[in-house]
Structure formats: structure tokens, C-alpha cells
Structure 1
């Protein structure tokens, strides 16, 4: 249990931030899943559109601190390679 008012406040703040970060990561996963589904159907134009929508969302996760920069770059790069391979 927190022993000081500051520690209590910190716990409340951490809970709020965790909820926000969880929703951000979930949103990023949803965008990535849409690209994966478009790739599974074999529709290159839909996959390219989904990737264009997912890329800024993934990079926004980097700027908000929920993803590491290199992790995001790797994910975008691998998805882009798979979309390009459909052509």
C-alpha cells in the first residue's frame, strides 16, 4: 500500500496511463490485423490501402511511447514487403 500522498497519486496516474496505452496498442493491432486479412485474401490494392492506414498509426505509437522505434520500423517493413510480394 502507498505510504505517501504522492505515491497514492502516482498509482492513480499509472492506472490511467496503463488504460490509455492499452487502448493505443489495441488500436495498432487492429490496423495490423486489417493488413494481414487483406494479404490473406490476396487483394493487393486492399492490402496497400490498409498498409497506408496502418503505417501512421504504428508510428504514432512510437511517438506516444507504446512501441519502440525499431519495432515499429520492423513491423512496417515486413508488412510492406509482403504487400509488395503480392504484385
Structure 2
């Protein structure tokens, strides 16, 4: 249990940030799933549009610190390759 005021404040802050970051990661996952479902349906046009919508969300996740830049680059690269192969 935290004893100092600073540690207590840090616990409160961490709780608020956890909610924000969880929502951000969930939103990015939703965009990724949209791309994957479009790929599975076989529609290249829809998949390419979904990929274009996912790219800035993933970049924002990196900028905000919820994803590592290499993780985001890997996800983007793999999805781009799958869309291109349709």
C-alpha cells in the first residue's frame, strides 16, 4: 500500500491512464479486425480502404505509447502483404 502522497497520486493517475490506454488498444484492434474480415471476404477494394483507415490509428497508438513502433510496423507490413496478394 502506498504511504506517500506522491505514491497515492501515482496510483490514481495510473488507474485513469489504464482506462484510456485500454480503450485505445481496443479501438486499434477493431480497425485491424476490419482489415482481416475484408481480406477473408476476398474484396480487395474494401480491404485496401480498411487498411488505409487502420494505418493512422496504428501510428497514433505508437505515438501515444501503447504499441512499440516495431510491433506496429510488423502488423502493418503483414496486413499490407495480405491485401496486396488478393
Which residue number in structure 2 is paired with residue 62 of structure 1? 62
TM-score, with normalisation over the residues of structure 1? 0.97
Aligned length: 86
Which residue number in structure 2 is paired with residue 75 of structure 1? 75
Inter-partner Cα distance in structure 2 for 1:83 and 1:65: 27
Q: Gaps spanning 5+ residues in structure 1: where?
A: none
RMSD of the TM alignment (CA)? 0.4
Give SS of 1:67's match: coil
Which residue number in structure 1 is paired with residue 42 of structure 2? 42
User: Displacement, 1:72?
Assistant: 0.2
Inter-partner Cα distance in structure 1 for 2:76 and 2:48: 12
Q: Gaps spanning 5+ residues in structure 2: where?
A: none
TM-score, with normalisation over the residues of structure 2? 0.99
